[in-house]
Every structure is written in C-alpha cells, then in structure tokens.
C-alpha cells in the first residue's frame, strides 16, 4: 500500500495527474502496480485523507490538490479538529479515570491491552483501540465524555488505521496505552494525565511526519 501511495502521490505532485483530473480506475491501478484492488483502495483512501484527492460516488477519484496538505481529513473531521478535541477531553479524562475508575473498568482495560498486544490485523486492532479510549472515558464517571468520544469514533478509527499503515504506530501505541492503564490503576491522576499527553503528542508527531514526508522523488514504478 505504501508503494502504491508513494507512486500516486508523487505522480500528483509532479503534475502527471492535473488538479481536477480523474485517476485511473481501481482495476487499472491494480494492474499497473501489480497489487490487489483492496491495496489500491487503501492507497486511495490515504490520498483522500491527505487532501490530494476527492471521491465522487459513481464517477471515480479526482485530484483535488497538487501539493502536500498539512491538515488531513478523516471522515467528517480534520486532524486539527481531532487533536483539539482530544487534548481538551482525553487528557483530563485520563485524570478523572484515575480517581474514579472501578474494578470492572480496570479489568476491561487490562483485557483490551492483552487483545491489542496479540492482534496482528490492522482493522481488528483499530476497533480495539477505539474501544480502549471509550472505556477510559466511561471510567471517568461522566457519561458526557463517553458521548464525545463516540461522536468522533469513526474519525479516530480512520486516523489510527492511517497511522498504523504509514507510520508503523501499533507497537508504540500498545506501550503508551500500557502506561496510561498503569497510571489509572495506581489512582495516579498526574501520571495518567502525563501518560495521555505523551500518547497524543506522539500521535500528532507521527502524523506530521507522514504528511511532510518527502514524496517528491520520482517513482521507480514505470
């Protein structure tokens, strides 16, 4: 998927596909890059998240911009939208969870950590990741926080999938999640806040690296 994305992204930024122009069909790209259509589909989703293309149902994928985009979009929300909300909600929520969590909350969080550590499928891991963050919000004892995370759940899932595929974030996230749970289990409010802050910092840093990564080198694909 990374190779297909790099090839298409480079072609768009070189002007091989003009802004407003239509990309080849999934079937044509699959044949060109010698990969399955599901791989092409993932690459096209990544291009759309980066703001380089738009998908028009029944018509195809069209080039929307020729250069790098600093604020990718995941579903209904941009990366900036998500980071602003997450920093104002999930950081204090981690602190509240450390003070108010029950044993059932801790048991579920530990179970999710075990499942994520053993999960090798990206889609499966992303689903567990969403549930992990929702569980922390619920452990805060304030149902409104859970509603906020549920509202952005789809966008968070899309972003997590994007980061795992292009930023190899899964192992790092597992370690960061374990630190968060450890602090919550210890009832350490400040440590939980710090652990969640560090997690979100790393997520944002990885996304910035992907967005700004040099994609201007000519593709080796003929």
SS3 77: strand
Q: Are residues 127 and 62 in the same domain?
A: no
Q: Which two tokens stand for residue 207?
A: 């996304």
Binning the chain into helix, strand and coil, the percentages to the nearest 5 are: 70, 5, 25
Residues 48 and 85 in one domain: no
The last residue of one of the domains, among 16, 50, 68, is 68
125 CB neighbour count, 10 Å cutoff: 22
Output the pLDDT for position 215.
Answer: 42
| pLDDT of 214 over the 70 cut | no
Do 53 and 94 belong together in one domain? no
| Averaged pLDDT for residues 128-146 | 96
Same domain, residue pair 7 and 84:
no
The pLDDT of residue 68 is 67
- Is residue 21's pLDDT more than 70? yes
Tell me, yes or no, whether 80 and 179 share the same domain.
yes
pLDDT, position 213: 66
Residues 6+ apart with CB under 8 A from 31: none
Domain shared by 85 and 190, yes or no: yes
What domain range is 186 assigned to?
Answer: 73-210
Element (H, E) at 190: helix 189-212
How does the average pLDDT of the chain come out, rounded? 90
- What is the pLDDT, as a whole number, of residue 84? 96
State what percent of residues in the chain have pLDDT above 90.
Answer: 68
Task: Give me the CATH number covering residue 193.
Answer: 1.20.120.530
Count of domains observed in the chain: 2
pLDDT at 201: 97
59/39 same-domain check: yes
Q: How confident is the model at residue 71 (pLDDT cuts 50, 70, 90)?
A: confident
- Does the structure show a pLDDT above 50 at 15? yes
Residues 108 and 186 occupy one common structural domain: yes
The predicted model scores a pTM of 0.80
């Amino acid at each position: 998927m990374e190779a297909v994305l790099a090839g298409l992204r480079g072609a768009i930024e070189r002007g091989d596909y003009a802004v407003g122009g239509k990309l080849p069909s999934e079937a044509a790209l699959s044949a060109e890059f010698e990969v399955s259509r599901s791989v092409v589909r993932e690459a096209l989703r990544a291009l759309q998240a980066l703001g380089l293309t738009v998908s028009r149902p029944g018509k195809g994928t069209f080039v929307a911009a020729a250069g790098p985009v600093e604020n990718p979009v995941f579903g209904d929300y941009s990366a900036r939208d998500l980071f602003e909300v997450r920093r104002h909600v999930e950081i204090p929520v981690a602190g509240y969870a450390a003070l108010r969590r029950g044993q059932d909350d801790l048991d579920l969080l530990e179970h999710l950590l075990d499942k994520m550590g053993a999960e090798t499928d990206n889609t499966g891991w992303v689903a567990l990741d969403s549930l992990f963050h929702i569980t922390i919000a619920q452990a805060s004892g304030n149902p409104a926080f859970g509603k906020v995370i549920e509202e952005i759940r789809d966008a968070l899932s899309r972003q997590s999938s994007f980061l795992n595929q292009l930023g190899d974030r899964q192992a790092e996230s597992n370690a960061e999640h374990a630190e968060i749970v450890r602090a919550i289990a210890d009832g350490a409010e400040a440590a939980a806040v710090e652990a969640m802050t560090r997690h979100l910092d790393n997520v944002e840093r990885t996304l910035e690296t992907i967005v700004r990564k040099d994609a201007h080198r000519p593709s080796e694909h003929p």
